[in-house]
Amino acid sequence: MQVVNDDGALLVCAINAACAALVDAGIPLKHLAVAICCCLAEGGYVILDPTKLEEQKMRGFVYLVFPNSVYSVLPKESLFVKGEPMEHGLITSVTNGVMSVEEYLKCLERGQAASAKLSDFLRRNLQLQLPNDLSKSG
């Protein structure tokens, strides 16, 4: 992967681009990984998908990577932990800066909601490409 321009959330962009490239190449995947960047401003509010300038002004940010659906990667019986339903199918989390546990959980909540929307978008657009491009698989 070669970076041509970095306007913020570079790691998130690289993860999403790599996943899309694997799908485009016809590599079988159990699920898509969906990456999101959440920044925490001085006032405590969360900004999703910040620009480079916004990233530099924030007091903390977190890169979150979710599977496109927890149901696609986990057996049905493992969707519960100690009798409680599992709400977050987090693959990884990378933080930078200072934030409280409450602020991190706020970022996690916003990131999960955003990843669901991004996951739907990717699924729709990548599926549109598959039927027309069967020549790559052979």
β-bridge mates for residue 97, sequence order: 60
Residue 136 falls inside a structural domain: no
- Say what the pTM is: 0.75
Instruction: Reply yes or no on whether the pLDDT at 27 is more than 70.
Output: yes
| 49 within some domain | yes
Average per-residue pLDDT in the chain? 80
Place 135 in a pLDDT band, splitting at 50, 70 and 90: very low
Averaged over 3-25, what is the pLDDT?
Answer: 89
What average pLDDT does range 38-55 have in this prediction? Answer: 90
Supply the range of the domain harboring residue 91: 10-126
Q: Residue 115 maps to which CATH number?
A: 3.30.230.70
Domain count for the chain? 1
Residue 103 and residue 60 in contact, taking contact as beta carbons nearer than 8 Å: yes
Residue 37: predicted pLDDT: 95
